[in-house]
Chains A and B, each alone.
Chain A
Amino acid sequence: MTQELIDLIQREVDGQNTPEDQALLRRHCEEDPSVKMELDGALKVGRVLDNIVEVSPPADFVHRVMDALPEHPSWQRAIRKAPSRGPLFRLTSRPVFTLAYGLVVGVFVTIFVMSGIESDIPVTDQLSGTMASSSEVIFSENIVLDQGAVGEGDTISLSAIQIEEGVQISADGSLHANDVITFSIVRDGTELFSRSIPVISR
């Protein structure tokens, strides 16, 4: 069976064939019983799949989502902080990251930490690490956010979070200057949170 014929059958199942396409498919069916058989089978599968059931979440789902929303999402913090911070991404006095193969991407994880907390909550230790590959950051020291800090995030809202040595941040996507990457912190196979931030070159 040709790809053109397969596409015709698939589009027929999806109700996307034009009248001309349908006429063409009918002709194929008349000329070749195996095409008719294939079409009937595909249509039958389509009808069965129309029985995919819609399921409802728990009655309190909306409340649970709303209760879990961060008080100040990152876009609010960015708007609030931008005037006072000056350059949004400032280098710390410590060496931050080096990217393998010579590409330095700057302080993006520091950014992530800095933007992940309220401006009035200090970071007691700066994040420092080495970009071990294009997809992995290995931390060389501990990072501790003060009691009361809100872990950046999507899925957690902790009174404190300590990221211990050896915890890895994985970046999804290739790293180039001005790219936006998404990375997540995973511990013991469980994603603690993830975040999208721009990669800054210097």
Chain B
Amino acid sequence: MNDEHDHQLVKRTLSGERGAFGQLVERYQTAVYTVAYNVLGNAADAEDAAQVAFLKAYEQLASFNDDYRFFSWLYRIAVNESINAKKKKRPISGLDHVEAVSDGMADRQTEENELEDRVGDALMDLSPTDRAIIILRHYQDFSYPDIAYILDISEKKVKSRLYTARQRLRGIFEQRGISVQA
């Protein structure tokens, strides 16, 4: 699974093979849903935003420039959709706590789940854009230039907002006693 394969799937979709787009949805549904969920804070809105993101991607597929990674392009749509959806919604205080993707460990430790929930709640104290920056950097491991492209802001701004968001989270973590072992 790589960028080239994605680009082939895009071409096949544009040539009329809808199933090829289904493969792209299958591949990226969890990533898109995760970013939508973490920006929006609840499952119902995340489902809507993720679905709209894929529909927009499909509708705009002919404008996709394969100089870019399909995933980055898709993320750009998904993040913008999520941020816009968030702006239309009333603020909420924390994440709905939904079941995490199974990693095959049926007895996943409660402490880990609690930490994930608390980190998720802390994220909700950030602005949607700053939240998106954190998600893109820490969950998806996007580079600064990728994040700049996805959010359509300068790389310098990515760095400064990432710094500010982390500083803010640091304060929240300390305030709420959230810590991990070094």
Chain A residues with CB under 8 Å of chain B are: 6-7, 10, 13-14, 41-58, 61-62, 64-66, 68-70, 73-76, 78, 153-155, 180, 189-191, 194-196
Contact = CB atoms under 8 A, between A and B. Distances in A.
Contacts of B79: none
B84 A49 contact: no
Interface in B8-33: 14, 16, 18, 21-22, 25-26, 29-31, 33
B55 A6 contact: no
Contacts of A70: 55, 58-59
Nearest to B22: A66
Contacts of A190: 88
A51 B180 contact: yes
Among B29, B58, B182: residue with most chain A CB under 10 A: B58
Interface in B123-182: 123, 134-135, 137-139, 159, 162-163, 166, 169-170, 173, 178-180, 182
A52 B141 CA distance: 12
B41 to A, nearest CB: 11
B92 interface: no
B34 to A, nearest CB: 5
11 contacts: A10-B159, A45-B173, A46-B138, A46-B166, A51-B115, A51-B119, A52-B123, A54-B30, A57-B33, A65-B51, A68-B55
B120 A52 contact: yes
B100 interface: yes
B169 A45 contact: yes
B82 interface: no
Interface string B60-98: 111100000000000000000000100010000000001
Among B26, B46, B55, B119: residue with most chain A CB under 10 A: B55
A6 B163 contact: yes
Query: Closest 7 CB pairs between A and B?
Result: A75-B62, A57-B33, A53-B116, A49-B138, A56-B101, A52-B139, A65-B54
A48 B178 contact: yes
Contacts of A78: 62
Nearest to A157: B55
A154 B53 CA distance: 9
Among A42, A44, A55: residue with most chain B CB under 10 A: A55
Among B26, B54, B101: residue with most chain A CB under 10 A: B54
A47 B162 CA distance: 15
Contact of B50 (A13, A57, A191): A57
B119 A52 contact: yes
Given A153-B59, A189-B88, A54 B180 contact: no
B18 A56 contact: no
Nearest to B98: A55
Contact of B33 (A51, A52, A56): A56
Given A55-B100, A75-B14, A49 B119 contact: yes
Contacts of A73: 58-59, 61-62
Nearest to A50: B138
A55 B34 contact: yes
B16 to A, nearest CB: 7
Contacts of B182: 43-44, 47
B125 to A, nearest CB: 13
Given A49-B138, A62-B26, A189-B88, A55 B33 contact: yes
B138 A52 contact: yes
Given A56-B33, A66-B25, A73-B59, A42 B119 contact: no
